Amino acid sequence: MDAFAKGRRGAERNTLARNYRERLARGAALADGKLVRTEDATALLEAVIEPGDRVCIEGNNQKHADFLSKALAAVSPERVHDLHIVQSNIALPSQLDIFESGIAHKLDFCYAGPQGLRLARLVGEGRVEVGAIHTYLELYSRYFTDLTPRVSLIAAEAADRNGNLYTGPNTEDTPAIVEATAFKSGALIAQVNRIVDEVPRVDVPGDWVSFVVQAPKPHYIEPIFTRDPAVITELQVLMAMMVIRGIYEKYGVTRLNHGIGFDTAAIELILPTYAEELGLRGKICRYMSVNPCPTLIPAIESGFIEGIHCAGSELGMERYVAEHSDVFFTGRDGSMRSNRVFCQLAGHYADLFIGSTLQIDLEGNSSTATHSRITGFGGAPNFGSESRGRRHGSESWLMAGREAQRGSHATMPRGRKLVVQIVETFHEGLASTFVERLDAWELKDSFNMPLPPVMVYGDDLTHIVTEEGIANLLLCDTLEEREQAIRGVAGYTPVGLKRDRAMVEKLRERGAVAYPEDLGVDKRLATRDLLAARSIKDLVRWSDGLYDPPARFRNW
Amino acid sequence: MERLEYRVRGSETDEFGGAQEALVGVVGSGNLEVMIEPADLGGDCLAVIETSITGFGAIWQQVVEDFFARNRLGNVKVSINDGGATPAVVSLRLDQALAHLRERQA
């Protein structure tokens, strides 16, 4: 048999391309070119989606294809059923309604924060079969291997009649979804806020897009990265001071990723005061991978932060970002361009990640899992992990590497990424952050998971910062020392009270445990007066009126 | 309300002899007021605590004894009015009060 004949049979076997053409033809019957009327959205989905399809309903941290999600929930389960949903965030009721009615059955996802309780119930009832809970980069990676969507329902700000899409500042996951779908014969259906003659910029070329539907109201966006400086506590200021002296200054950290809690907001807000006073401008915190959190404004205005790449946007920051295209990545049209994949990658290969968590065990494993909820991961594990593929040196990376290899017999020098958890020893309800055993183990058993859902693994973690001090796990040689260093900063929690005082004192001499006085941190300065902005109104003032906070944050 | 009192052996020092007392913090939910002053206690340290939350005696004892030992204090009296602060906030206030007392001494 000659090779050509074999090849021809291959072409006949390419049912994927033929199947796409069939879907397109069925949908085209309802469309005027690429445009489908709002009221025909459900009929369009019934025409294009086939039973058993893998479907992505774009659900990001912030932007959601909420109209198409509702339209999907309204299809006839007789025509469309047993879908396999592959999307990063589950945030809206309609995204789970389809599992109640049998339209969908299997789910691969990353994060289900607000729907975590209901998701756990549906899994318990056998209505949702969880493929896996991923981190963002893992799920996107699987879009390009075995979880490629047959149909993706995405959300954009505007479209023209040719299907060119403008996503605006919240591009987020769109490029990953679009690339995987459009280039593997999948159908791409976009909901848009408005149809225009010419889009301000082309974020998705029209020839990749199958159909466009105008939504009756703008897609849902949540302001989840706004932290009101008014509720930052003195303990958070104290911890922020320790981070700046004991980590940022010590290692000379210039490229980093901040979590989105109040602890990291406190760090951002004392850069223009405390770090400035220490002469650290230009030496620390120059490039960040983080959403445009309003609490970054004073540090940008005072020349600390020179560049920020964002995974998504934040409501109210549009004009500020547009006016600061020297700092943020912005399009020719002036609005920000976000991209979760690139932001995650930039953060993964940065010198430091710092974020918060709910529980830390004695090996330093941390988890945000709590009993009876399936919340998942999001992006923290990709940011908060050692980047073993890294090869380029930096002051911080090399210094941390020297600490990690200190006293070992390793002959090949390696660097080390700093992975920091910042927590108070007690959180709400006087629950201890430090535990002998993570609740994640219980969750694993209740929901038959392959592994306990751990956010940051202990062997990736390098530092724990509490209001007591800093545990530097790089300077611990044994698991026993690591445990005592953790107990040494666990304060008056049961875990902290069980410390071996002599051993903690020995670790302190080595620098594996450091208290504020060891770091040159003056506790008298740990007051809210140190915050460059003490309210949302202060942030507006710092921004010269460009930051326009959502109504719920306006209390003046 | 609960009143707690802890007296422990301190170091033989008269570090703050004659210094004026230092007061930090305010009584409020989750917050506390701490006054620290030199006192002729024969080398001992004394903590007198009024707290709105009962049943945490063991932790109070740990927190104030750690504070006295960590700073090698003697002949010092600490008076606390507590509105339900966490141990972390208590420690911060104690350290802030001591820093102010030292400042006055210097």
Contact B89 A526 (CB under 8 A): no
> What's domain A22-214's superfamily in CATH?
Glutaconate Coenzyme A-transferase (3.40.1080.10)
Mean pLDDT check: name the lowest of A323-327, A522-526, B24-28, B64-68: B24-28
Question: How close A488 comes to chain B (CA, Å)?
Answer: 13
Say whether pLDDT at A6 is over 80. Answer: no
Provide the pLDDT confidence category of residue A556 given band limits of 50, 70 and 90.
low
Question: How close A485 comes to chain B (CA, Å)?
Answer: 18
Say whether pLDDT at A48 is over 70. Answer: yes
Contact A523 B99 (CB under 8 A): yes
Residues of B in contact with A526 (CB under 8 A): 92, 96
Contact B92 A491 (CB under 8 A): no
Main-chain phi, psi angles of A191, to 5 degrees: -95, 135
Residues of A in contact with B100 (CB under 8 A): 524
In percent, how much of chain A has pLDDT > 90? 89
Say whether pLDDT at A8 is over 70. Answer: no
Parallel/antiparallel/unpaired status of strands B32-38 and A352-355: unpaired
Q: Does residue B31 sit at the A interface (CB-CB below 8 Å)?
A: no
| B44 vs A10, residue with greater confidence | B44
Is there a contact between A143 and A149 (Cβ–Cβ < 8 Å)?
Answer: yes
- Give the number of other Cβ atoms within 10 Å of residue A539's Cβ: 27
CATH of the domain at B58: 3.30.230
Q: How many domains in chain B?
A: 1
pLDDT for A10 equals 67
Of B62, B88, B99, the CB nearest to A235: B88
Strands (E), A364-480: 366-367, 418-422, 426-427, 431-432, 463-465, 470-472
Is there a contact between A153 and A192 (Cβ–Cβ < 8 Å)?
Answer: no
Contact B91 A467 (CB under 8 A): yes
In percent, how much of chain A has pLDDT > 70? 97
Mean pLDDT check: name the lowest of A89-98, A374-383, A529-538: A374-383
SS3 B91: helix
A364-382 pLDDT, tens per residue? 999 988 777 888 888 899 9
Range of the domain at B84: 2-105
Contact B62 A497 (CB under 8 A): yes
For residues A41-67, average pLDDT: 96
Chain B CA closest to residue A517 = B95
Provide the pLDDT confidence category of residue A156 given band limits of 50, 70 and 90.
very high
> ipTM of this complex > 0.90?
no
Question: How close B73 comes to chain A (CA, Å)?
Answer: 16
Return mean pLDDT, chain B. Answer: 91
Domain ranges of chain A: 22-214, 223-234+255-349+523-541, 351-465+470-514
pLDDT for A38 equals 98
For the four alpha carbons of A465, A466, A472 and A477, in that order, the dihedral sign comes to: negative
For residues A243-261, average pLDDT: 97
For residues A424-432, average pLDDT: 85
Provide the pLDDT confidence category of residue A7 given band limits of 50, 70 and 90.
low
Say whether pLDDT at A256 is over 80. Answer: yes
- Residue keyed to tokens 């980590």: A247
pLDDT for A281 equals 98
For residues A517-545, average pLDDT: 97
Return mean pLDDT, chain A. Answer: 95
Q: Does residue B101 sit at the A interface (CB-CB below 8 Å)?
A: no
Main-chain phi, psi angles of B68, to 5 degrees: -65, -45
Q: Does residue B59 sit at the A interface (CB-CB below 8 Å)?
A: yes
Residues of B in contact with A505 (CB under 8 A): none
Of B88, B95, B100, the CB nearest to A426: B88
> What's the token pair of residue A395?
């002051």
For chains A and B, count residue pairs whose Cβ atoms are closer than 8 Å.
Answer: 40
Q: Which of A378, A329, A371 is nearest to A355 (CA)?
A: A378
Q: Does residue B86 sit at the A interface (CB-CB below 8 Å)?
A: yes
For residues A178-183, average pLDDT: 98
Distances (CA, A) of A291 to A119, A230, A253, A384, B26: 27, 20, 19, 16, 36
Contact B96 A524 (CB under 8 A): yes
Chain A CA closest to residue B61 = A492
A322-337 pLDDT, tens per residue? 999 999 999 999 999 9
Model pTM above 0.90: yes
Query: Buried b vs exposed e over A30-45: b needs ≥16 C-beta within 10 Å?
Result: bbeebbbeeebbbbbb
Q: Considering only CB atoms, which residues of chain A are within 8 Å of chain B?
A: 234-235, 238, 424-426, 430, 466-468, 491-492, 497, 516, 522-524, 526
Of B59, B92, B100, the CB nearest to A492: B59
CA distance A420 to A264: 11
Q: Which fold has domain A351-465+470-514?
A: Glutaconate Coenzyme A-transferase (3.40.1080)
| A375 vs A198, residue with greater confidence | A198
Say whether pLDDT at B95 is over 60. Answer: yes
pLDDT for A177 equals 98
Distances (CA, A) of A412 to A65, A386, A405, B43: 49, 17, 9, 56
